[in-house]
Amino acid sequence: MEHQALVRAFEAGEDPPGGFHHAQHVFMAWWYLRAHPLGEALTRFSVALRRFAAARGKPDLYHETITVAFMLVICDRLGAAPDAPWDTFAACNADLFSWKPSVLDRYYRGETLWSDRARASFVMPDRF
């Protein structure tokens, strides 16, 4: 799918062709981080993601800690090559696309990441 079409569908709360899976989440986070400073990108992405989940009738799918943590990891990775196109970024950061196991397993114990508290508000990593 063409990137702008994915962005438009996501921001409109519509399912893009092929669905909106983990790889599309990673792309959207990358896209927002390329277009905006971290704080603004995080706000815009989380608002759009909540709206997207609500439009599916599943507002409880939104997970604050996973959203913030992935955004921070992606932002950090962008620092190595801020102008790299998506295909290059994706190829250099293949670990971001694995959901189980997840790159976040390096930073969080399972019981912490999947807690109700972590779903509702950002929880700092507990693996150092």
The pLDDT value given to residue 38: 97
- What is the Cα–Cα distance from 28 to 126, expressed in whole angstroms? 26
The pLDDT value given to residue 105: 96
pTM here is 0.92
List the domain boundaries for the chain.
3-14+25-120
68 Cβ partners below 8 Å, 6+ apart?
42, 46, 122
The pLDDT value given to residue 34: 96
The pLDDT value given to residue 128: 75
Could you state, in chain order, the average pLDDT of each consecutive group of 10 residues for the chain (128 residues)?
A: 83 86 95 96 96 91 96 96 94 94 96 97 94
- What is the Cα–Cα distance from 44 to 93, expressed in whole angstroms? 23
